[in-house]
Amino acid sequence: MSIGLDLGTTQFRSLRITGSELIGRQCRAVYVVLSDTASHRRLLEQSNAKFASCGDDLVLFGDLALEWADILNLPVVTLLPGGRVPQSDPVARQILTLMIDAVLPPAERLGDVCCLTIPGGHDIYQAELPYDVRYFQQLVALRGYQPKLISPGQAVVLAELATASFSGIGISFGAGNCQIGVIHCGRELASCSFDECLIDHSEDRAESSFTNAGHEPIPADRMLRAARDQILVRALTQTLTAARDELDKQGVIRWLAQPTHVVCTGRPTTEPGFSQLFAQVWSSLEWPMKIGQLRVTTDAIYSIARGCLIQSRLENRDDKHRAA
């Protein structure tokens, strides 16, 4: 069995191959807490709801937490605020363990590689990894795998740019940050991460940001679309400007083929007209390269997990060859 694991700020996802089957799992990174009373236990048991006991409380996580939050009018708690593991919250850490178990089945063969991405925009190549990274590695290792970190940018290039020899720029617009990787033949030459993200496209924000200088009535849907475009262009400009400057400073742009393929994933890419706006902003910023092909993932849910799965298969195949 080969498996890829995408640990995001708001969702955990896995994708694995078992025999001829491709199986995906996902779980929202949220939870709710109920007091451990006989009535609550009876209610949950009658509904066949899975829950965990934590001291004097009962805990539900994932989509189930959202359902019961509506039913019982409970506050929903974000498990990874800012993409960070809450070190002073033992309940949250216990739930993280349960969530990993929910999306990551035990390894069929002890020591199989599981490639994974982690939230928070950490530098996964530094000599001394931060607590969050080591914590997630430990949880994966406890399931019997050898954890191998890759960046979301590398994962999306592996998933989408096979015909370009796995070379190009991969951009993941996540819920917590934006991560960009420069990939050559499947290897990451450089990466950068920015806390700015493009997720906040609420209708309230879009409506409040749009001003109509004229006096002719404008249909509401056109006003909303124009406001969203303004927000998206502004956010893309900030992110791509910072990425251009950082990658130029790292001196890796010269290694890329011209023109360069770019692939994007994440919720903002599902906005109508995203590709056109991205190309427009890219051209206006005078990047030292031209876009050959701009690709937006057709499956934004599992695209990063798919890239992790591809790398896991390559790693496990190499291990088998070395063992032989």
Q: How confident is the model at residue 318 (pLDDT cuts 50, 70, 90)?
A: low
| Higher-scoring residue by pLDDT: 180, 211 | 180
> Exposure pattern of 35-65 as b/e (b: 16+ CB <10 Å)?
eeeeebeeebeeeeeebeebeeebbbbbebb
Pairwise CA distance, residues 324 & 318, whole Å: 10
> What is the pLDDT at residue 59?
93
* Residues 249, 288 contacting (CB under 8 angstroms): no
Residues 6+ apart with CB under 8 A from 243: 180, 192, 194
**β-pair type (2-7, 113-117):** parallel
Q: How far apart are CA 296 and CA 273, in angstroms?
A: 11
Structure tokens at 311: 């790398």
Per-residue pLDDT at 323: 53
Mean pLDDT of 11-21: 93
pLDDT higher than 90, residue 214:
no
pLDDT for 209 equals 45
Whole-number percent of the chain with pLDDT over 90: 59
What does the pLDDT look like over 256-299, one tens digit per residue?
A: 778 889 999 998 898 888 999 999 999 999 888 888 889 999 88
Average pLDDT of every residue of the chain? 87
Residue indicated by tokens 């800012």: 82
Of 248 and 211, which is predicted with more confidence?
A: 248
- The burial class, CB within 10 Å (0-12 / 13-18 / 19+), for 117 is buried
Q: By the 8 A CB rule, do 104 and 143 touch?
A: yes
**Residues 32-90 pLDDT 10s:** 999 999 999 999 999 999 898 888 899 999 999 999 999 999 999 999 988 899 888 88
Band (231; pLDDT cuts 50, 70, 90): confident
Distance CA(92)–CA(35), nearest Å, equals 16
The CA-to-CA distance between both ends of the chain, in Å, stands at 18
Q: What is the pLDDT of residue 134?
A: 95
Mapped onto helix, strand or coil, the DSSP state of residue 4 is strand
Domains of the chain: 2-37+50-152 (3.30.420.40), 154-296 (3.30.420.40)
Beta-carbon count within 10 A of 182 CB: 25
Is the entire prediction scored with pTM above 0.85? yes
**Would you state the pLDDT for residue 211?**
47
Decide which of 60 and 252 is more confident: 60
**DSSP 8-state secondary structure symbol assigned to residue 288:** S
Q: Alpha-carbon distance 254 to 278, whole Å?
A: 22
Averaged pLDDT for residues 218-229: 74
Strands (E), the chain: 2-7, 11-18, 21-28, 30-35, 52-54, 57-61, 77-78, 113-117, 146-149, 168-173, 178-184, 187-194, 260-266, 291-296
Quick: pLDDT tens for 268-280: 898 888 999 999 9
CA distance 225 to 272: 9
Predicted confidence (pLDDT) per residue in 100-150, tens digit: 999 999 999 999 999 999 998 888 988 899 999 999 999 999 999 999 999
22, 320 in Cβ contact below 8 A? no
Q: What pLDDT score does 1 carry?
A: 81
Report, in this order, helix, strand and coil percent for the chain, each rounded to 5.
40, 25, 35
Cα dist. 146→16, 84, 106, 203 in Å? 15, 22, 12, 43
Is residue 238 predicted with pLDDT exceeding 60?
yes
Q: Which pLDDT score, from 0 to 100, does residue 324 have?
A: 46
pLDDT band at 10 (very low <50, low <70, confident <90, very high): very high
